[in-house]
Every structure is written in structure tokens, then in C-alpha cells.
Amino acid sequence: MTRAVTAVAPGRVNLIGDHTDYAGGTALPMAIDLGTTVTYTAGGERLEIRSTTTGDRTILRAGDDHEPGSFAAMVAGLLAVLGPRAGLLEVDSTLPLGAGLSSSASLLVAGAMALGAPQQDLELALLCQEAERQAGQDVGLLDQMAIIAGRAGHAVLIDFAELTSTPLPLPDDLQVVIVHSGQDRSLASGAYAERRAEVAAAEALVGPLPRATPQQLAEIDDPVLARRAQHVSAECARVAAFARTIITDPAEAGRLMVESHRSLSELFEVSTPQIDALVADVAHRPGVLGARMTGGGFGGCIVAVAERGALDPRSFDRAWTVRPADGAALSPTG
Ligand code: GLA
């Protein structure tokens, strides 16, 4: 009899540092206590994916087209990298799908581990990134690295030039709240590719943006590329400042989050009027230190950092108080 292998992977919320990963910059995400459980039982001649949350079943057949972003598309991407597998893959997720909390990367990391991918952190992150690329999304490494390197009670400071991650303790008396804007991220994919291309074009002019001098940034003539480059450069400086202040001066860290949001909205242009309004509302509530959009943008969620107990998630349609969680792991019972 074949043994079932179970892996559990968290989702992630990015506290600060968006659209910096594919520019070789820095970010400060944390793994959260919502995530995906995948159980793989090998056997038979075909792979069946079953969602224990929705009851949906899909048989993966070579050459089939899958709905972009679907579980089937992600798993097909994994098999393209790992090679064929047959059996049953059961997926159970507590993450809201398509909300910017990395439901895709969480599924990919848990799926890869359950299907027997290499366990070395960076190798696993790169493999899941490639699987997502095969599934049609050319993403950076923020999500996979956060999900793999997460540590309870800590955020993760990631340097995408060095591909290193360093746990950063988060104060116990702070509350991290994720609020869904009600807008799905359906327009996100094309616009994301466009931003990546713009960052690459700016880099071709002045080299790596996180290390560009103010003088170099001022030399970029194209106004759109100049705005994108200014965002990446300043956002990486804010990540470092946030990491320095979150314990000693949380009010300043909160201010940096609001500044980051303004930059993503005005310079990088990945926010929406609805998200801007939600950030402004939440950031002004008593006890809230800062709020910003989180992840790729164009809908999805915002993240707020508040004094513990200051924000009641029930005062929104869809919101969660989340805790910094451990990274992905094979389940000992699997
Ligand atoms: C998405 C991508 C990440 C990253 C963020 C923006 O979540 O998957 O790689 O680029 O957008 O920071």
C-alpha cells in the first residue's frame, strides 16, 4: 500500500517592499496562519486533483489547457518541472483565493513538497517559481521565499540580490490585520507583466535600481520609467528603515507603510481608487500605526499594523487578524 504524504504551506502577507523582488531589491513579508494542506497518495496511471474545500475534482491529462490561476494549472506547472506523477492530490485551503495572499504559491510549495520535490529552501523556491511560470505567471521570488522561510513570531527580511532571508522578530503587542477590498485581482496579470518590463527597461538605463543614486534616477528621461525606478529605489530604503524601527519606533514603521502605499499608488500605479480609499480609512482608525496595499496590487487585500486589539476584523466584510507563522513543512502524520 502506498503511503500518503502531507505537506502544509502558509500564505504570506507582505508588510513592506512590493514590486522590489524582480528588481533585485528587498522586502519584509511574513508567513501567516492561513494556508494550504496538500496530501499526495501515489498510485494508478493518472493524477486526480480533489479540492476538499469545494469538492471539485479534476483529472490532469497531458496537453489539456487549464484555466489560468486554477489549481489544475498550478499542478500541471509543477508536473512540467518535476516530471509526471500519478495518484490522488487532495488540496485543502484556508486562504482566500486570488486575494493577494499567495494562495497560488502556497499551493505550489505544499504541492511540490508532497510530490517529493527537493527540500532545500532556495532550490524549492526556484522550482515553485518555475512551475508558476509554466502555469502562465512570470512572478518574482517574494511569495515562495516568504512561505518557505517563515518563522512563528517573525517577519522575514529578504534580499533578492543575494537570495537570502533573515528572520526579524515582531513585537507581541502589535496586531497585523488583513482586509479584503472586495475587488478581485482579475486585471492583475497583464499589468504585472507590464510593470516587470518597465523595471527591466529602467534597469537597462541605470543598472540595478535598489543601488541607483539619486543622480542616476534623475537621468531617466522617460517619465513612466522614472516613476517606476523612483518607487523601487525608495521602497527598498523603506524596507530597511521599517526593519530598523518596527521594535524601537513602531509609529515610524507605520508611517513608512503609508508612504509605501502612496508610492505604489502614485509612482508604481498598481493600486485602485477602492484600495486607496480603504487604506485611508483604516490608517486613520484609532490605534492603527499604518496600512498599505499588499502584494501585486490591482485589487486584493490591504495590510494594517495596529496596537493589539485596536482593530476588530468583524468591522469589515472580510478581514482577518493574522499571526506570523512557521514556513512550509511536511506533516509528521503524513
Ligand atoms: C506578486 C508576485 C511577487 C511580487 C509581488 C509584488 O505577489 O507574485 O513575486 O512581485 O506581486 O511585490
Would you call 326 helix, strand, or coil by DSSP? Answer: coil
Q: Is 235 in the pocket of ligand 1 (CB under 6 A)?
A: no
Q: Is 140 in the pocket of ligand 1 (CB under 6 A)?
A: yes
Q: Is 135 in the pocket of ligand 1 (CB under 6 A)?
A: no
Q: Is 143 in the pocket of ligand 1 (CB under 6 A)?
A: yes
Distance in angstroms (rounded) separating the CA atoms of residues 178 and 162: 29
Q: Is 259 in the pocket of ligand 1 (CB under 6 A)?
A: no
Q: Is 142 in the pocket of ligand 1 (CB under 6 A)?
A: yes
Distance, CA 89 to ligand 1 centroid (Å)?
26
C-alpha cell at 242: 521599517
To test the pocket of ligand 1, the residue of 192, 264, 303 to mutate (highest count of ligand atoms within 8 Å of its CB) is 192
**Which residues have C-beta within 8 Å of that of residue 190, sequence separation ≥ 6?**
none
- Convert 55-75 into a string of H (helix), E (strand) and C (coil): CCEEEECCCCCCCCCCHHHHH
Atom of ligand 1 nearest to the CA of 14: 12
For atom 9 of ligand 1, the residue with the nearest CA is 140
Closest by CA to 294, choosing from 62, 29, 87, 79, is 29
CATH value of 174-322 in 1.10.150.450, 3.30.70.890, 3.40.50.300, 1.10.150.20: 3.30.70.890
For atom 2 of ligand 1, the residue with the nearest CA is 139
pLDDT reported for residue 51: 92
Exactly one of 64, 143, 159, 173 is catalytic; which is it?
143
Name the residue ranges covered by the structural domains of the chain: 5-169, 174-322
Q: Is 22 in the pocket of ligand 1 (CB under 6 A)?
A: yes
pLDDT reported for residue 70: 82
pLDDT reported for residue 211: 97
pLDDT reported for residue 113: 98
Pick out the chain residues at pLDDT < 50.
334
pLDDT reported for residue 334: 44
CA-angle at 7, arms to 9 and 327, nearest 5°: 35
Q: Where are the beta strands (DSSP E) in 87-173?
A: 87-93, 154-159, 164-169
143 is catalytic: yes
The fold for domain 5-169 equals Ribosomal Protein S5; domain 2 (3.30.230)
Express each pLDDT in 119-170 by its tens digit: 899 999 999 999 999 998 899 999 999 999 999 999 999 999 999 999 999 9
Atom of ligand 1 nearest to the CA of 22: 10
**Which residues have C-beta within 8 Å of that of residue 145, sequence separation ≥ 6?**
121, 122, 125, 156, 158, 163, 165
Task: Report pTM.
Answer: 0.96
